[in-house]
């Protein structure tokens, strides 16, 4: 049976982008009912919504009154997404005002609710809006952060509707969690995740890097958001976009990542170090591009060790049990030890609470859409996660984290 999704559309200029959200949901198998506000219909007419959804559009509480749509739509849905969610819509949702069909549906919902805000920067940053967002998130509503960029007219700043594809992905994350029987078990948790591969400068043109795409870290961030967490993503080089709703801190080198992670770690409940941090960097980066003729037939590049960020996190938290710290170990094994043996040794050496071990030999992980891991706990427990999508692996990690927090 297809997932039943209610797409609410509030009255903002970004209403036209909701057409892309609707198409993305229907093309991925969802049964979508569109509920626009009267203001939204001034931007996009009912005929457009009906043509794209293949269903009649519900517009007010008096339409098909015998079906009691203001109650049934919220009761029967598997997920409700409002895109765009204006400042006015979020204010009414926060305070339980039900003066049209969409706010009635939100008030009767017994399913996950996702709001994708879109408004001018001043409205998004106003204390009233910020407080409303805070209250909605405390109740388990997934409120995505808006994107930054061009708004109406010449204005720019945070307030753009998140990318429609990111909104569709967020809805499917929520639906996947609902199908698995998961609730918003990370609601109220503040999570710091590192992702991607660091790049260590050799000269102004060249760098030393690694094969990490950042996909696993992004899936960890996306699934944590769908389970109610507030997520900060410290992102090195990535081949994929960060998820809508995460606070993103961009870095390049291991030293920059160390600074960003240590600064943010004090204010979070969970730290997940999923980034592929380079172990070494050029000891003396060149100030200009090194020319072929300057090196002779052979080139020697002295390397220095980078800081061990995971070890510093563990040492820095002192006797307090928080934040809970999760490390990642990308291993290939060596002639005397297999991947799990190396992982157990690393867990003992680093002292983190959990260590996610994956075999990255033969190109089986970096840049791929799937993964398989073993999650090692400090108390000796081991959780085997069979090969599946990186989103499935991320949810398995959060399942273990949630049990550890309990």
pLDDT tens for each residue of 125-170: 999 999 999 999 888 888 988 988 887 777 788 889 999 999 998 8
Question: How far is CA 253 from its chain centroid?
Answer: 22
Does the annotation count 371 as an active-site position? no
Handedness of CA 363, 368, 371, 373 (dihedral sign): positive
Distances, alpha carbon 117 to alpha carbons 5, 38, 307, in Å: 18, 18, 39
Helix axis angle, 254-265 to 309-316, nearest 10°: 20
Of the candidates 132, 210, 306, 358, the residue annotated as catalytic is 210
Can you give the pLDDT at residue 188?
A: 82
Q: Start-end ranges of CATH 3.40.50.10300 in the chain?
A: 190-283+298-405
Distances, alpha carbon 165 to alpha carbons 28, 162, 208, 233, 287, in Å: 11, 8, 32, 19, 41
C-alpha angle 218/227/187, rounded to 5°?
120
pTM of the model: 0.80
Please measure the distance between the N-terminal and C-terminal CA atoms of the chain and give it in whole angstroms.
Answer: 34
Can you give the pLDDT at residue 86?
A: 97
Across residues 167-183, what is the average pLDDT?
84
Across residues 2-30, what is the average pLDDT?
95
Q: Would strands 4-9 and 31-36 be described as parallel, antiparallel, or unpaired?
A: parallel
The phi, psi pair for 55, rounded to 5°, reads -140, 155
For the stretch 309-367, pLDDT in tens is 999 999 888 666 689 999 998 777 676 678 888 889 889 998 899 999 987 765 555 55
Can you give the pLDDT at residue 370?
A: 81
- 3-state SS of 10-57 is CCCHHHHHHHHHHHHHHHCCCEEEEEECCCHHHCCCHHHHHHHHCCCC
Q: Cα(198)–Cα(200) distance, rounded to whole angstroms?
A: 7
Q: Cα(45)–Cα(232) distance, rounded to whole angstroms?
A: 38
Q: Cα(81)–Cα(160) distance, rounded to whole angstroms?
A: 16
Q: Cα(204)–Cα(311) distance, rounded to whole angstroms?
A: 30
Q: Start-end ranges of CATH 3.40.50.1950 in the chain?
A: 4-179
Q: pLDDT averaged over the chain?
A: 88
Q: In 3D, which of 122, 301, 290 has the Cα closest to residue 206?
A: 290
Can you give the pLDDT at residue 300?
A: 80
Can you give the pLDDT at residue 64?
A: 62
Q: Cα(260)–Cα(233) distance, rounded to whole angstroms?
A: 10
Across residues 7-25, what is the average pLDDT?
96
For the stretch 262-306, pLDDT in tens is 999 989 999 999 999 988 888 888 778 877 766 667 778 888 889
Can you give the pLDDT at residue 405?
A: 85
Can you give the pLDDT at residue 60?
A: 72
Among the residue ranges 6-20, 97-111, 326-340, 369-383, the one predicted with the least confidence is 326-340
Q: State the DSSP H helix or E strand holding residue 173, giving kind and residue range, or none if neither.
A: helix 164-179
Neighbours of 282 (CB within 10 A): 17
In CATH terms, 4-179 corresponds, of 3.40.50.1950, 3.40.50.280, 3.40.630.30, 3.40.50.300, to: 3.40.50.1950
Provide the token pair at 17. Answer: 């982008």
Q: How sure is the predictor about 187, in pLDDT bands with cuts at 50, 70 and 90?
A: confident
**E-only strand ranges, 241-389:** 247-250, 270-273, 280-282, 303-305, 324-331, 354-359, 370-377, 382-389
The phi, psi pair for 24, rounded to 5°, reads -60, -40
Place of tokens 């030293």: 255
Judge contact between 253 and 211, C-beta under 8 A: no
Asked: is 190-283+298-405 a CATH 3.40.50.10300 domain? The reply is yes
Q: Is the pLDDT of residue 200 over 60?
A: yes
Across residues 27-44, what is the average pLDDT?
95
């Amino acid at each position: 049976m297809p997932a039943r999704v209610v797409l609410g559309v509030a009255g903002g200029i970004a209403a036209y982008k909701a057409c892309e959200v609707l198409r993305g949901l229907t093309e991925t198998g969802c049964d979508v009912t569109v509920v626009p506000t009267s203001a939204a219909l001034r931007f996009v007419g009912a005929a457009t919504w009906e043509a794209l959804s293949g269903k009649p559009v519900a517009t007010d509480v008096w339409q098909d009154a015998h079906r009691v749509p203001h109650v049934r739509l919220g009761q029967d849905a598997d997920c409700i997404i409002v895109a765009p969610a204006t400042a006015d819509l979020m204010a009414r949702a926060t305070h339980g005002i039900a003066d049209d069909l969409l706010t009635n549906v939100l008030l009767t919902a017994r399913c996950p609710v996702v709001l994708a805000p879109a408004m001018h920067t001043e409205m998004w940053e106003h204390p009233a809006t910020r407080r409303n967002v805070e209250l909605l998130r405390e109740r388990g509503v997934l409120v995505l952060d808006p994107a930054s960029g061009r708004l109406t007219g010449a204005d720019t700043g945070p307030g753009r509707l998140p990318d429609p594809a990111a909104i569709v992905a967020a809805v499917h994350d929520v639906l996947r969690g609902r199908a698995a029987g998961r609730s918003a078990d990370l609601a109220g948790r503040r999570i710091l995740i590192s992702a991607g591969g660091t790049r260590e400068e050799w000269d102004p043109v060249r760098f030393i890097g690694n094969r990490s795409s950042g996909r696993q870290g992004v899936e960890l961030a996306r699934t944590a958001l769908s389970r109610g967490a507030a997520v900060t993503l410290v992102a090195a080089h990535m081949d994929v976009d960060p998820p809508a709703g995460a606070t993103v801190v961009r870095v390049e080198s291991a030293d920059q990542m160390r600074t960003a992670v240590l600064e943010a770690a004090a204010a979070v409940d969970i730290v997940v170090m999923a980034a592929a941090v380079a172990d070494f960097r050029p000891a003396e980066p060149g100030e200009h591009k090194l020319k072929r003729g300057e090196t002779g037939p052979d080139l020697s590049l002295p390397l220095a060790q980078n800081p061990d960020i995971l070890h510093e996190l563990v040492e820095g938290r002192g006797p307090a049990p928080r934040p809970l710290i999760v490390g990642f170990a990308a291993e290939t094994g060596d002639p005397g030890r297999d991947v799990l043996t190396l992982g157990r040794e690393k867990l003992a050496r680093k002292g983190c609470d959990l260590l996610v071990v994956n075999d990255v030999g033969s190109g089986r992980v970096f840049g791929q859409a799937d993964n398989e891991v073993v999650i090692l706990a400090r108390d000796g427990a081991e959780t085997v996660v069979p090969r599946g999508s990186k989103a499935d692996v991320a949810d398995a990690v959060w399942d273990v984290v949630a049990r550890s927090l309990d």
